[in-house]
Structure 1
Amino acid sequence: MTKEDLLSLIENKRSELILIGSKYGLSSPLALERSQELDMLLNQYDRYSVPEELVNS
């Protein structure tokens, strides 16, 4: 997966979270699930920013 693919997924997940949060509240189980999914995508994206030497040490 490319960095651009991840950015697109992140934006889509963020939009989903905003819609769900406004409809059901940010503490709803569905919003919490989407928030965790967004966190995972953001963590994956962050790995692209870390130099390879630090990842393997």
Structure 2
Amino acid sequence: MYAALWRLLPGPTWLKVAQALVLVALLTWALLAWVFPAVEPHLPFDRITVGD
């Protein structure tokens, strides 16, 4: 999968590295902005109990 993505990116190696870093940054931003806030209410992090 990563090799296919690498082949799809245009340009020399330095440009491919820059594009890959930008793609990772955009993916991280999208996850933190939309996906994680949408999933967080369904996670059990607020129902913590300590044994009696």
**Which has the larger Rg?**
2
Q: TM-score range by the shorter chain?
A: 0.3 to 0.5
When you count helix as a share of all residues, which structure comes out higher?
1
Q: Which has the higher contact order (CA 8 A, sep 6+)?
A: 1
Alignment TM-score, normalising by the size of structure 1? 0.43
